[in-house]
Amino acid sequence: MAKLAFIGAGSLGFTRGLVRDVLTFPLLKDATISLMDVNAERLEFAKNSVQRIVDMGNYPAKVEATMDRAEALKGADVVLCTILAGDVDVWRYDIEIPKQYDVDTNVGDTRGPSGIFRALRTIPVMLDIVKDMEQYCPNATLLNYTNPMAMLCRAMQRKSFIQLTGLCHSVQGTAAMLADWIGAPHDEITYTCAGINHQAWYLKYDWNGKDAYPLLREAVKKPNIYNEEIVRNEMFLHLDYYVTESSGHNSEYNWWFRKRPDLIDKYCLPGTGWNPGEYAYILNEYEKAKHTWKDEAKKWFASETPISLERGHEYAAYIINALQGGEIFGFNGNVSNTGLITNLPEGACVEVPVFVDKAGFHPVHVGALPPQCVALNHVSVMVEEMAVEAALTGNPRLVFQAIAYDPLTAAVLSLAEIKKMVNEMLAKNREYLPQFKHFEA
């Protein structure tokens, strides 16, 4: 029997969906599902909802819940992580302080000042998790869903021998979106996608073995398609390769779209596709969820059939099945750059094709990225390298220097202004950064 430990199990939608998917595999139907969260009320809802899925499917699985992380990890084969270090009350400053300096944020959980501060708070917790894994389940595999993906994975890859990867929905989600735009069935599309998390590039995108990029170039000329992903379509039209992750995110990762109010109005505010347009979209969503999650959970339990037992498309379930000896599975994962992308730094966290079987992960050598793509990736990678080093050493000067090279921040502010902003953000995060002895850059 496999043991699966969910750290941050109170992320109810994710936990329910993944457990549903996992139990559809014959190798996993009798798994022990060990749920852990720091919020007792959310943990209770998670346990009851997972047990309901087990009962609905008449599976021989076992469900357990604990607030003791070590207990959840003991003997685990796979650990899944969906945590949030620090709640909305501190996260809001990651968004609101930069806004006072005209650094405008749409999502803010991956890169830029807000993503870096989220990493500074989260990296110590993630390192504690892998340290516990080394003690209680040293042969287990960690599947991380927590953002900021690249910085968290890089820190853990530097400090732990635990086999791990970071998983994101953007590669498969974008591939399906592009297929819809050209009228192709999803199962007839093949691609090679590589780069870094939220900024990987479809180096090849084929329909039945034939290059589909000419069809995509025609498709994005149509107003309805262009307007669905304005930022990414602009990047595609000018850089020649399509990038993963939404326009809302990507508008924050470069110099081109959010540095002036007129550009924000033109490229960022039209709320189409997964580009909500509004300032601080995710922060506002978290604020709503903070007050409504109990009502949503009660509705779920009140429904006669709250979830379909049909398997979904979440990668983690297929990966777990492969690790337990099931069918080999291919996906895009966040792994250490061991010469996989030759024009990005060795050891950096990169997102490349990976095959998984019972022996573990087998990342694919990609080679060099096109220069116009790697130029943008390289800036983000070096910012992430500085931010991770700052988190590991407690060096506030490196926090400032990382943010000084963030493309959007640098397009809006001077070095002196960036330093002032960072010092304000450090002061607000004082109690969440135990590794820092000083809070001024």
Helix, strand, or coil here: 272? coil
Q: Which of 100, 92, 9 is nearest to 50 (CA)?
A: 9
Beta-bridged to residue 63, according to DSSP, are: 33
C-alpha–C-alpha distance, residues 49 and 297, integer Å? 9
Are 114 and 79 in contact, with CB atoms under 8 Å apart? Answer: no
Instruction: Report the binding-site residues for substrate.
Output: 147
From the annotation, which residues make up the binding site for Mn(2+)? Answer: 168, 198
Contacts of 326 (CB under 8 A, 6+ apart): 25, 27
Q: Report pLDDT for 256.
A: 97
Q: Which helix (H) or strand (E) holds 98?
A: helix 88-100
Q: Are 199 and 253 in contact (CB under 8 A)?
A: yes
Tokens of 277: 């347009």
Query: pTM of this prediction?
Result: 0.95
- Per residue in 379-388, pLDDT tens? 999 999 999 9
Please report the sign of the dihedral spanned by the C-alpha atoms of residue 131, residue 132, residue 137, residue 142: negative
Distance CA 283, CA 311 (A): 31
Give me the phi and psi of 84, to 5 degrees please.
-135, 110
Model pLDDT for residues 323-364, shown as the tens digit of each residue: 999 999 999 999 999 999 999 999 999 999 999 999 999 999
* pLDDT recorded at residue 136: 98
Question: Which stretches of the chain drop beneath a pLDDT of 50?
Answer: none
pLDDT at res. 271? 59
Q: CA 219 to CA 37: how far, in whole Å?
A: 45
Pull the structure tokens for residue 318.
């297929």
Which positions make up the binding site? Answer: 147, 168, 198
362 has catalytic annotation: no
What is the helix, strand, coil percentage profile of the chain, to 5? 50, 15, 35
**Active-site residue, from 145, 191, 213, 253:** 253
Ramachandran bin of 60, using left for φ above 0, alpha for ψ from -120 to 50, beta for the remaining angles:
alpha
Q: Is 186 a catalytic residue?
A: no
Ordered structural domains, the chain, with CATH = 3-87+113-166 (3.40.50.720), 88-112+167-441 (3.90.110.10)
